[in-house]
Structure 1
Amino acid sequence: MSKDQPTTPDAAPDEMDETPDDVRTDAPEAVADAPSASDEPTAELRELAAAHGVLTEHHGFGGEAVTTSAPTLVAVLGALGVPAGTPQQVTHSLQRARDDEWRAVLPPTVVVREGDDAQVPVHVTAGAAVHVWLEAHGAEPAAREHAVRRRRDLDQLDVLVEPRTVDGRTIGRATFALPADLPLGWHSLHALTEGHESRATVVVTPRRLELPAGLEDDQWWGFLVQLYSVRSRTSWGVGDLADLADLAWLTAHRAGADFVGVNPLSATEPVTPLTTSPYLPTSRRFLSPLYVRVEDIPETAYLTAADRSLVEWAADPVRDLVADPGALDRDAVWEAKKAALEVVFTAPRRAARQAAYEEFVAAEGTGLRDFATWCAIVEHLGSRPRPDELGDPASPAVAALREQLAERVEFYVWLQWVADEQKQTAQRVAREAGMRIGIMHDLAVGAHPQGADAWAHRDVLARDVSVGAPPDMYNQQGQAWSQPPWNPRALARAGYAPYRDMLRTVLRHAGALRVDHVLGLFRQWWVPDGASPAAGAYVRYDHEALLGILCLEAHRAGAVVVGEDLGVFEPWVRDELADRGVLGTSVLWFEKEDGRPLEPEKYRRASLATVGTHDMPPAAGYLAGEHVDLRERLGLLADDAQELRAAARAERDAAVLALAMRGLVGDHPSEREIVEGLHRYLRKTPAALVGVQLTDAVGERRTQNQPGTDQEYPNWKVPLADGSGNVVLVDDLFDNARLRSLVQAVRTAR
């Protein structure tokens, strides 16, 4: 994603984001009009916005102060459920905001760090008695689910706070102390007053997410891949979880790699056409069954001859696609796999397998059932619009249709189980092969506005706005990504349960998790529907809660967390991430000092270092200036092409000079020698992790995604191939001389 923009006038242009991980970067033609006098927000509107975490001013990419217009503030506040359309509404909403915390007996959620002393305000009728206690649970799921809850009465502190009259009622505040020795995990806080019991969530998070043993003073490396593009002879036209397991085993044994990072494997639509971008899933929590290897489902071995023939017939139309160098055809593959999976679904399961399935379904709970219901409804409706009565998962109409479509709902539940099993197998194979991390999964910023998450989490997502990015030097109209953001207050009222459940599912069977646009845990750019992306506003989030919960769930899963923190932002943000043990992202082409490549010794220790990103051409293509050529062909250049080519050549020459000064390349190095030198350069840095794009290893030149395009370029459809356009399969990776040479360079560089 495009990242946060400059917050200080002296922000360095070289650090500006080049729009990584775009899910939709095409900005509308219209741009914001020059502000009029009526657009200037009043002092009361500014105060109301500030009370709800909406920034009324930020710095543009040129360092200039930009004031958020009144219409934008009104729209963003409306998306938060705060009326502000008239002066009277602003006054009323501001008064409510001042008294909001006094209306609830307990705060909705209390997030604290392990070992910290914390205080909880409790609001009751002035003079009324209140009894407050906490029921503590263990940090681990098994312990939490099976242990007897430990009830602990809380002590009231001698803190004097004047009562307040709220809605005609005099409210007093009592302050209670949370025990500093609470275990990590999710706990419940209770208050009993005047015969009424209130409840809140207490989350105790790690002070720091520690790195795995052995990585504290070492550097581990691994491959970064777009799994759909990495196919084998037994694939069904796109790379799948079986290919991932094979890739992990091969790269562990033959390359000494410690991890394989993959694009988000999140769920797509249940019917074609499928959204191609991995960063615009229908659900961030659940997996795409497109990545299931049908033959690896145990029940496939026990099909009748007739049913086995049906599976083979389904595969026939897409088997030959693995050798096709053209754009990947997800739709054909999903139609084939879906037909085969429907056959396997009908096969009986052994008693132990059935019990495992039932345990999985119980553990995933309502979230899984709702997701499967959404899939069944979408399939049932086909191209027909969804009736309003089916817009709420809890509606009687949905309940009736869920019963009517019970078998299809069960099918989509089962698909998640088999996908989860194969995800688990990939991680097990990776670790048993010797990888010290295994599979690094990826979490997108958000989900499709018409998808399963938007449907299931309608109460905790903001409406009528989209996450995006303000104007920058690469996208001067700003960006809207068509993804509804979390509503910060609604999420807190829900005890952060939707966020927690998503993280738990994504982190299961993961050795590491890359979080796309991790800066979104601190603030996000909200664009009102129908407005120019430039006419948005930043909304702050409770980063202590979101980051703490991320660290807690990663700790429970035993996973490393890498935050994609590219861009310009307040320096304290990176400090906060590092303090919590979340690694950042260092991209060689962006790491500069005084216009020259940053010396390797000056790289951050707490980071994953890479040469480029999948939103840029691989190293070979970038060195040749193909990022300029492609953008010129597509009409995306705002500046003179020749000037940009000259800048690209200068950037290349500076990189080669930096390599030569360290003896990493000789005179007149070849393309291959430069690519290897760039990776050797990264191995000289103190970065905890170094990622090698598999495309760089085989000499691929084409980018996976060209920001700013939709149909003009085959985004997310480019199969893995070498520099001549010849398809490279998993089976043949280590027959590739260029890959073997790069692996040798990486392994011997330390």
Structure 2
Amino acid sequence: MAPVEHPVPSPALVDLARAHGISPDHWGFHGEKQDVAAHTLVAVLRAMGVDATTPERVDVALASAADAQWRRMLPPTVVVRRGRSVELPVYVTDGVPVEVWIELESQRGAYELSQLDVYTEPRVVDGRSIGRAVFEIPADLPLGWHEIRARTPDGQTRTTLAVTPDRLELPASFKEFRAWGLMAQLYSVRSRQSWGVGDFADLADLGWLAGRSLGADFLLINPVAAAEPSTPMTPSPYLPSSRRFINPLYLRVEDIRETAYLSAADRSLIEWSADGVREMSTDPGPIDRDSAWDAKKAALRVIFEAPRSAARETALSEFRASQGPGLEDFAAWCAFSDHFAGQEWPSELHDPTSEATGALRVELSAEIDFYCWLQWVADLQLEQAQRAALEGGMTIGIMHDLAVGVHPEGADAWALGTVLAKGIGVGAPPDMYNQQGQNWSQPPWHPEELARTGYAAYRDLLRTIFRHAGALRIDHVIGLFRLWWIPEGNPADQGAYVRYDHDALIGILCLEAQRAGAMVIGEDLGLFEPWVRGYLAERGILGTSVLWFEKEAGDRPMRPEGFRPLALTTVTTHDLPPTAGYLAGEHVEIRERLGLLTEPLQLVRQQARQERDQMILALAARGLVDDDPSERELVEALHRYVKATPALLLGVSLADAVGERRAQNQPGTDQEYPNWKVPLGDPSGNPVLLEDLLDNARLRSLAAVMNE
């Protein structure tokens, strides 16, 4: 039967949407209420596996949703906060006795649960009378991943229990002082030894130098998650193939131990590969990832074939075992992608568990070994970078960045199956800076499937990224509460918000961060419900404040005293031009050139001038600038202004520190602008190399400001 679409959804369709966590309306950035069209709700429900194409099917789906929890003896997953007792519903045939206990992690024992005297009227589901028994999960269980088991005369079942910290406590040192650090796009920070792209050796050197010579406490970098295994490579670090695994583009080939023991002929092959791309490190033009990766990949294959010591071979085997099936699936996807070289995969290979997939895994086992090895050597180099940063004197070290999602045709989309929703892109509705909305194209977590699988994919992702991180920035942390789902074929403004179990997602985040001894910062900019910031602060997760976005009444710049203490506060962000460019109105001119403005150019220019003038007045009122300040004086004054806030963490863009004016990214564009390809440069666009950073007067002066 053909779908029946209505511009306004029926009450039953609205109820069905709400039953699955879909908001049938939302508030726009001008304060107006926006209703979601019926066809959008139907498409979002379809992505969740719910058929709502006719009124009859909507009614059936509604009835099924009402009975869903009664069909399971135990919930799909239970996530609790330590220190709080929780009631656990257990559904069994009415009148049948049930025993419930908890198997603690690492076989530390079992804990039998007590049944509470709570009565609920039985419910007939699928012709069977179901009763609801309630047990108490105690408040004093140890943190960790446990298992709830329930047994009746008819059988036994189990579910995952995560006991998470009530609050992620800050390191003790932060009770005595604040920290500042640099923010850098790693690919843009090149040295004379780089192969045209900043790499993990550059990261280690930058972290050590920033700590030892500049007094910085952390180094925030772009996501270094995996991209495609073969060129062309997606430039955006925020659209990875996999968020869990690493992009080997960032490997320093010469730092892999086996390189030192290559034969003369093989060393010549390495040098030949390097010669063609090393000179690109001084090229002021867009970064050429494809040439760099083609050269590195050829060299890495030579090193992979070289013999490894017994200890190194054992370490590689242990790494593969520790990463489990997730690594093997990722490596298989990479090998398959190389094998088909851009051609369409046979349909039977779309399932990672199919017989055909298994056969091809065997055929390509050597290639799978290669891609597992790449992850191992990348992990070792990331470990060394974090160690170097701490040895340089940083208190936090490397702060990694977690993208919102993954490429719709990447490794995670293939390997994680139903845990990611199909036919949906994630984005954002229109706001002040992106008035047409944004579609980032990533498939979102399927909230119900995520819970059904015990949040395993989410947990494994966090564990991997926390391995060598002193802190983690969560891009668009609001996505752990709700995400803007955009059905395929819809414009970016025709989506709907889908809600997630934020208590579970934030709790698991806090658990894995505490185990790793890391801090967490949530990028909480844009449209969101006001209570979210309070909730994140309650759980010990820092927010993000950007000077240009923080306003008081009359659209005036917020006074430093009004900023949040629990935040990473910065002057700018990677989605704006560096401060020198922003002060010159480049954020307006670039949007005009690219056709992204929805308001008259002169009006937007006027608004930008007013914003700049009000900011200068705010600086002058605090004695931070004199009459007619220079660009450099303004940049330093803005950082003094930020330093006057009570924020726990202060971030300084490396691009600001060297006077760069070009934006790294222009939201709402793809090929129209060289997004994520701009090398670190001076005010004239000339490359600034890592070896020359400490001789940069602007950088040293700005670091002195932060250390005052």
Sort the TM-score into its range (normalised by shorter chain).
over 0.9
Aligned to 1:180: 139
In structure 1, the partner of 2:309 is 350
Deviation at 1:471, TM superposition (A): 2.6
Query: Shift in Å at residue 105 of structure 1?
Result: 0.7
1:183-220 alpha-carbon deviations (Å, 9 max, x no partner): 11100011111342111000011011111122135220
The count of corresponding residues between Structure 1 and Structure 2 is 704
Q: Report the equivalent of 2:504.
A: 545
Contact in 1 for aligned 2:481/2:501 (Cα 8 Å): yes
- The one-letter code of the counterpart of 1:729 is L
Give the letter aligned to residue 40 of structure 1.
V
What is the aligned partner in structure 1 of residue 229 from structure 2? Answer: 270
Counterpart residue identity of residue 747, structure 1: N
Read off the aligned partner of 1:727 and give its amino acid letter: P
Partner of residue 720 from structure 1, selected from 664, 677, 680? 680
How many angstroms apart in 1 are the aligned matches of 2:396 and 2:273? 36
- Please say if 1:669 is aligned against 2:629: yes
d(CA) in 2 for partners of 1:493 and 1:636? 41
Which residue number corresponds to residue 246 of structure 1? 205
Q: What does residue 351 of structure 2 align with?
A: 392
Note if 1:311 corresponds to 2:270: yes
Aligned counterpart in structure 1 of residue 387 of structure 2, from 410, 428, 443 = 428
Alignment counterpart, residue 217 of structure 2, candidates 245, 258, 278: 258
Partner of 1:636, secondary structure, is: coil
Select which of 592, 600, 605 maps to 1:632: 592
> What residue number does 2:582 align with?
622
Q: Say if 2:578 and 2:655, in contact at 8 Å, map to a contact too.
A: yes
Q: How does 1:127-276 map to 2 (within 5 A)?
A: 127-137=95-105, 144=106, 148-276=107-235
Which letter maps to 1:47? Answer: D
3-state DSSP of counterpart to 1:38: coil
> Cα offset for 1:44?
1.5
1:38 matched to 2:6? The reply is yes
One-letter amino acid of the structure 2 residue matched with residue 84 of structure 1: A
Q: CA-atom RMSD, angstroms?
A: 1.3
CA distance in 1, matches of 2:511, 2:597: 44
Q: Which runs of 5+ in 1 are unaligned?
A: 1-35, 138-143
Secondary structure of 1:248's aligned partner: helix
TM-score w.r.t. structure 1 length?
Answer: 0.92
Select the structure with the greater relative contact order (CA < 8 A; seq sep ≥ 6). Answer: 1
Q: Distance in 2 between matches of 1:635 and 1:178?
A: 56
Residue of structure 2 equivalent to 1:698: 658
Match of 1:15 in 2: none
In the alignment, what sits opposite 1:28? none
Q: Distance in 1 between the 2:680 and 2:76 partners?
A: 48
Of 375, 380, 383, the residue aligned with 2:339 is 380
Asked whether the 8 Å contact 1:132–1:153 carries over to 2, the reply is yes
Residue 204 of structure 1: SS of its match in structure 2?
strand
Structure 2: runs of 5 or more not aligned: none
Contact 2:434 2:667 in 1 (8 A): no
Q: Give 2:495's aligned residue.
A: 536
1:149 deviates by 3.6
SS class of match (2:605): helix
Report the counterpart of residue 589 of structure 1 in structure 2. 548
Distance 1:99 1:256 in 2: 59
Quote the Cα distance in structure 2 between the aligned partners of 1:637 and 1:476: 7
Name the SS for the 1:613 alignment partner: coil
Aligned: 1:337 with 2:305: no
Secondary structure of the residue aligned to 2:664 is coil
Task: Report the equivalent of 1:414.
Answer: 373
For 1:37 and 1:108, the matched residues in 2 are separated by 33
Residue 235 of structure 1: how far off its partner (Å): 0.6
- 1:114 is aligned, of 82, 96, 99, to 82
Show the counterpart of 1:299.
258
Q: Which moved more, 1:238-247 or 1:614-623?
A: 614-623
State the partner residue of 1:11. none
Residue of structure 1 in register with 2:26 after alignment: 58
SS at match of 2:418: coil
Shift of 1:61: 2.1
Residue equivalent to 1:496:
455
Q: Is 1:403 matched up with 2:362? A: yes
* Residue aligning to 2:569: 609
Judging changes above 3 Å, is the alpha-carbon distance between structure 1 residues 62 and 37 closer, same or farther for their aligned structure 2 residues? farther
Q: CA deviation at 1:442?
A: 0.3
Greater CA drift, 219-228 or 70-79: 70-79
Query: 2:74 corresponds to which letter in structure 1?
Result: L
Deviates more, 1:411-420 or 1:174-183: 174-183
Equivalent of residue 324 in structure 1, options 273, 276, 283: 283
Counterpart residue number, 1:93: 61
Indicate if the aligned counterparts of 1:695 and 1:720 stay in contact, CA closer than 8 A.
yes
- Alpha-carbon contact 1:245-1:429 (below 8 Å) kept: yes
Percent identical across equivalent pairs?
Answer: 63
Is the partner of 2:614 in helix, strand or coil?
helix
How far apart, CA to CA, are the structure 1 residues paired with 2:622 and 2:213?
28
> How far has the Cα of 1:635 moved from its partner?
2.7
The one-character-per-residue Cα deviations of 1:342-371 (angstroms, maximum 9, x if unpaired) are: 011112222222222111111100000000
Q: What SS is found at the alignment partner of 1:249?
A: helix
Secondary structure in 2 aligned to 1:585? strand
**Which of these residues, 538, 559, 562, is aligned with residue 579 of structure 1?**
538
TM-score normalised by length of structure 2: 0.98
In 2: Cα distance, 1:728 partner to 1:472 partner: 34
8 Å CA contact 2:435–2:597 kept in 1: the answer is: no
Output the CA distance in 1 between the equivalents of 2:151 and 2:594. 65
The 3-state SS of whatever aligns with 1:489 is: helix
